[in-house]
Amino acid sequence: DTEVTQTPKHLVMGMTNKKSLKCEQHMGHRAMYWYKQKAKKPPELMFVYSYEKLSINESVPSRFSPECPNSSLLNLHLHALQPEDSALYLCASSQDLTTDTQYFGPGTRLTVL
């Protein structure tokens, strides 16, 4: 099973709201990623977790807070977002951080009002 799942599919939130995005995989992968994708642009890496530890933070604003509760789950907590944060948020996973295929989830379409 090469499936990564994400919830919710769509999210609309105000700038003062707090919400969370969830990602799950049951492939035994030990690396998980958060990407942000704007329309007609490539995915931009935000965070990388390896063996449940934050490995890379690509200078993402603190209003985005990642969390990896266990090896199958990855969350992205959102607080005080701006309208320009509206985008498709993609989760991906790979076996580990050696050169390996990344499998993407379906994404959460986020709109910040």
Partner 1 sequence: GENVEQHPSTLSVQEGDSAVIKCTYSDSASNYFPWYKQELGKRPQLIIDIRSNVGEKKDQRIAVTLNKTAKHFSLHITETQPEDSAVYFCAVGDAGNQFYFGTGTSLTVIP
Q: How far is the CB of 100 from partner 1 (least distance, A)?
A: 6
Task: Output 80 or 97, the one with its CB closest to partner 1.
Answer: 97
What HEC string does 4-55 produce?
A: EEEECCEEEECCCCEEEEEEEECCCCCEEEEEEECCCCCCEEEEEEECCEEE
Using the rule CB under 8 A, give the single segment among 13-21, 41-49, 67-75, 78-86 that binds partner 1.
Answer: 41-49
Half-sphere exposure of 64 (CA within 13 A, CB side): 19
The most distant pair of C-alpha atoms in the chain lies apart, rounded to whole Å, by 39
Residue among 38, 56, 111, 113 that touches partner 1 (CB under 8 A): 56
Residue numbers 82-101 binding partner 1 by CB under 8 A = 90, 94, 96-101
- Per-residue string for binding with partner 1, 21-40, x by CB under 8 A? ----------x--------x
Q: How far is the CB of 15 from partner 1 (least distance, A)?
A: 25
Angle at 41 between CA 10 and CA 64, to 5 degrees: 50
Which residues are near partner 1 by CB under 8 A?
31, 40-43, 45, 48, 55-56, 90, 94, 96-107
